[in-house]
Structure 1
């Protein structure tokens, strides 16, 4: 009798994989067993159809499951009497992963809307095809006892479902019902309100224009009626978030298409079981107040992904709500009930299931019809990346930069990226980072590190943490240049060994000690060479020039009389302008930067679009939105000398065109295109020098669709292959991935 052992690695736990194996083995009349074994699923099969089983196994998987590798070996037959699903073991520590949190499936949705179903209107309905995973798991193997669902013993009816191999709830660790599962509660301020239907109460206060906090799967949202201008402005006031766009959730795709443009790819993404926020362009029928997404041509949109979201819409006539993370800017989301009911909200919808791993909403934007992550988190984390190069044997922890941080853990040729962490210059977020690392270590069973990778910036909190953790693990610290990490994450995404990378963003610590951000790099993954860059400009006041970009405009134009025309964009008018030029002359508290972001911000001031940054990327984003409405082609010349793009000249042309009466939108578009073409030309010069055919583009500036389109077209029209992010973030969310790959490169 033939007997085989099959070890499967990938997304094979918590996704109905074992019941699937049971059904397949039974169909082929095979004997043996299947079980979770640490970070892998072990299958023993005996019978005549073992080869057919191995052939069919990867091709008929459940919706969420994914096999990355199968190790198959012949073994001695034990003459099993049947095929069984047996209890988990913990003897193997191979590479595998828990699936991310998945949106409610159609069958579970149908149940909560069916008055005759025992789970009617139950807000925690789930099965093996949907529901929370990453946010509730403590360690592997993925069994209920190692999740926060362990606090809710199954009732008799749920237990029957849980034990039936052919039931879709078989070993669905998040399953429950109203008799045995988590419960919701409604609070007004700190006072609990007794009611039969807390979600209905929530819908009623939202209709009255109140601010409601809703504790969900991986965190908490602050919610208001998206049509209510007064409620939105009140939310902004309480959050101290005056301008940053709020994301919205609409009840269905039809509602979304009433106010936003949608491509086929955007529709597939927004309706997928991952349910990210997708940045969509507003259409001509856009009905919401300007306060929702001020100064922008687009809006972040998501569809319901949990039972409680659907139930909220079912209880309301409102088809779209603001859904923004319940946290102060830069800090982690609230997940504890005590914090939520003491928050800035009027009312709270909370529940008694612990959130072990907070996980913010993912954010995606399409540029030239290609997907790019702005934030890769819920629905995707902790699904790993594969390193497409020869690797060393080191276990690596990579900590990312300081803002928009993710971390990554690498073992063998696999990298586990974390959920979105945030800005680690905030103490609470730094603590969240430390907790999240410990949680990921438990899940991956990677307890020790040989190397801690970090940014080159000596004063980042993540850099300091790297040295602390290196001492704890007796590990080496590996500083990695910011834009090199960006470009390597991009290269790995497309399996490119060497490339020329355009790295354009707000700031990254350069190897010369200045701020970079408009770079042309040659990289062969392990090393890099700076081949060109934007003109280095002075930053009077350092970070003050980032927050108040009129200071940056003054420095770039180098013309005090010209800048006096913009005196109303300086807090202290002409007196401040005088002091800025004195500061530049003295060189006191004046940094240097080649940042593309600072050039675009200055352009926004020059066109009187935005003169103060209240959130990351605000001025550049508003510049892009202004340019989106351009109706006339204007050309701005750009000049390159010694592999440096002259940005002073570009800004002077912008000012001249604007003062000569050209429309803001037309000049904004022309200015962006000039910068994009200049960067592209620099990259082509470098590619010719290195005899390389691949040119990539990375960094936060590349979220700008017009700039990305211009770069792509310019590079391809000159005969080069253009590489852009597909499965990774163009922004700082991919830096830790790049750091990990560089550290693992053999």
Structure 2
């Protein structure tokens, strides 16, 4: 008997794809089966597939994506009298199999929270179109037995829904209801509440000014009333977070309008299936939430639990990850009590285990596009398909750098990038990093041919790569940090423009805070010309001597003084020294001795360090109490209407000399010019340097990567200036501009 075997690859797990295929089969009256085969779905039908395939592709489930589809005619003896969903078949999973991502609650499930008997106000209501996926996944294929839902037995009504092709919960792996509930409990001192009462008690505690830890989709969050100043101050003190902005959760779009402006693009992001934190322009000062910033991070409820809580609270709440500073998000009650027991007053928890911890994603609008700041829930794991690459069979793993770490896995044209993990400067993050490595290598059954790390020997990822290479006899390559950034933005650009070719030569502007160069110095103000096959460092900012060692990265007044000593005259140095002797009597004037004796010095070309110095010189920020505080604060003072810039020089060797810029900045400072004018002229100068360099290199295509290009004001100023030149500009769209893209850049080049 003639049958047609169809193979469907893409995002076809955890999105209701098999039930969707079943309904089409019923509609077209075909016999056969559908089943998971690990990284693809296999369909067998007994009729010509043309009509079936057309119907299949025209009305996919909301979150499904087909990346490849083919079929072949076969002859088998078995007869099929109906169409069935067969048990998943364990098979080798490849990188073509897209891991399911955690999805925001759908409109239908929201409606069920209000009026469905079994799901009325049920905190874990989901269907095939929504709910947790990656965070509860043990292994593929995505079946209940391979998730943390395996611990919860379906009641007879849920089982009926699960088996009913006409029900949207047909084969919904996260299904449960009030009759087979996932237990929810709220604990405050010696008082305990469960299920519906737990939600009510949690809401009342927040309204009473309590700090509450809430177990959500990817981990615990710390929450308090965002209109209660004393609660926010107490949370800041207990969490040792004096200035870093908090995100806030609001009930709905109407609630947001009271606190912030929303553009159509931001609204789309807020309502998207990814449901990230979106940076919005403030309408109110919100000083306790986001001190001295023009923007505030806003998120809408994205699970049944969050919706039920926000309905009862009906006011904004602080919504921040529950973790110690620099550590990953906490996922278990035991760890929460051990590490943060003194921070919160009460906690709301549930029985469903979080297998893969994941933070909330963060995005911001830059120009007419959205920029990802943190690659996490909803966006990650990120699957990328590069049609322009060759079908190389070797498996490569990019180990990332040190900060904002991710892992990347490449085979052929496919790349998987892990969610944001954190900074590898503490044991907890290192353990999470290794757990992620093991999860992805096991779930995809990878046998890496090569691992690629950063050049920097002091990076933990470098040391781990070295150990893995020795232990498992894997090839180990070390890739220069800024070339990895360049490769990452080239890869991102390939996805944005299908006409771009891997052999096209482009100019990469790679600016960040730190990265070891091939000469052993710290780079960070780089111009790279090339492609994914070859590259050359064609320009850079002049060498700067920074004194104070590692402490200067936080105590940035040391950077400011170092640059004034290097580029200013005696009057400039005396002017700043007099200020610092008063502000830092324990450091000055002894700091001059350190400089004179060339002690505790590092050499750098970093534009990120210039931003630090500028923030300090303008008396905007002297100390980085959180990552990138100084450049974030500096950005707040940029004014688009100010068009002037400072002078600079690019030498015949393509070195960007900033002495004249620094001299003019110091002159403006001593003349008490407004901060807004100085900051705007400084950022305009950076823009002018970029376009001057593009002219020197006679290039028509510019690509931007590195943490400096997280700066919204700088990016938008570049976009505006380009109206004069009409060059092709590429900024990151699929990954953050910061070091989270390093792992992708490590695996993507073909050198």
TM-score normalized by the length of structure 2: 0.94
Task: Please name the residue that 1:3 is paired with.
Answer: 3
Question: CA offsets per residue over residues 508-538 of structure 1, 9 Å max, x none?
Answer: 1111111111111113113321111112101
Q: Give the superposition deviation at 1:639.
A: 2.2
Distance 2:393 2:108 in 1: 44
Matched, 1:107 2:108: yes
Q: Give the superposition deviation at 1:156.
A: 0.8
Say which is worse superposed, 451-460 or 496-505, in terms of deviation: 496-505
Q: Give the superposition deviation at 1:601.
A: 1.0
Do the aligned partners of residues 415 and 569 (structure 1) sit closer, same or farther apart at CA in structure 2, a change above 3 Å counting? farther
Matched, 1:339 2:323: no
Give the SS at the match of 1:139.
coil
Task: Please name the residue that 2:396 is paired with.
Answer: 396
| Conserved 8 A contact 1:233-1:291 | yes
Q: Give the superposition deviation at 1:471.
A: 2.6
Distance 1:163 1:221 in 2: 35
| Conserved 8 A contact 1:453-1:480 | yes
1:574-723 paired onto structure 2 within 5 Å: 576-628=587-639, 632-641=642-651, 642-686=653-697, 688=698, 692-715=699-722, 717-723=724-730
Q: Give the superposition deviation at 1:174.
A: 0.6
1:134-173 paired onto structure 2 within 5 Å: 134-173=134-173
The equivalent position to 2:323 in structure 1, one of 289, 312, 327, is 327
Distance 2:574 2:27 in 1: 81
The equivalent position to 1:562 in structure 2, one of 567, 572, 579, is 572
Q: Give the superposition deviation at 1:716.
A: 5.2
The CA RMSD measured in Å over matched residues stands at 1.9
The unaligned stretches of length 5 or more in structure 1 are none
Aligned length: 732
Give the SS at the match of 2:336.
helix
Give the SS at the match of 1:26.
helix
Do the aligned partners of residues 38 and 721 (structure 1) sit closer, same or farther apart at CA in structure 2, a change above 3 Å counting? same
Distance 1:59 1:577 in 2: 71
Distance 2:731 2:515 in 1: 20
Q: Give the superposition deviation at 1:649.
A: 2.6
| Conserved 8 A contact 1:603-1:651 | no
Task: Please name the residue that 1:296 is paired with.
Answer: 293
Do the aligned partners of residues 101 and 17 (structure 1) sit closer, same or farther apart at CA in structure 2, a change above 3 Å counting? same
Distance 2:180 2:448 in 1: 41
| Conserved 8 A contact 2:249-2:301 | yes
| Conserved 8 A contact 1:557-1:648 | no
Task: Please name the residue that 2:308 is paired with.
Answer: 311
Matched, 1:519 2:526: yes
| Conserved 8 A contact 1:449-1:473 | no
Q: Give the superposition deviation at 1:446.
A: 2.8
Distance 1:244 1:703 in 2: 16
| Conserved 8 A contact 1:367-1:703 | no
Q: Give the superposition deviation at 1:441.
A: 2.6
Task: Please name the residue that 1:538 is paired with.
Answer: 545
Task: Please name the residue that 2:211 is paired with.
Answer: 211
Distance 2:225 2:11 in 1: 38
| Conserved 8 A contact 1:227-1:287 | no
Do the aligned partners of residues 230 and 572 (structure 1) sit closer, same or farther apart at CA in structure 2, a change above 3 Å counting? same
Task: Please name the residue that 1:97 is paired with.
Answer: 98
The unaligned stretches of length 5 or more in structure 2 are 495-499
| Conserved 8 A contact 1:638-1:675 | no
Task: Please name the residue that 2:37 is paired with.
Answer: 37
Q: Give the superposition deviation at 1:391.
A: 4.7
Task: Please name the residue that 2:497 is paired with.
Answer: none
1:186-585 paired onto structure 2 within 5 Å: 186-189=186-189, 192-193=192-193, 196-283=196-283, 286=284, 288=286, 290-318=287-315, 320-342=316-338, 343=340, 344-387=343-386, 388-443=388-443, 445-495=444-494, 496=500, 497=502, 498-558=505-565, 559=568, 561-566=571-576, 567-569=578-580, 573=584, 576-585=587-596
Distance 1:621 1:569 in 2: 23
Question: CA offsets per residue over residues 579-620 of structure 1, 9 Å max, x none?
Answer: 333322322221011111110111111110000001111001
Distance 2:583 2:672 in 1: 27
| Conserved 8 A contact 1:187-1:341 | no
Q: Give the superposition deviation at 1:162.
A: 0.9
Question: CA offsets per residue over residues 74-112 of structure 1, 9 Å max, x none?
Answer: 111544212111111113434212220001011111111
Give the SS at the match of 1:314.
helix
Q: Give the superposition deviation at 1:375.
A: 0.8
Question: CA offsets per residue over residues 449-478 of structure 1, 9 Å max, x none?
Answer: 111111111110010111122233321111
| Conserved 8 A contact 1:604-1:620 | yes
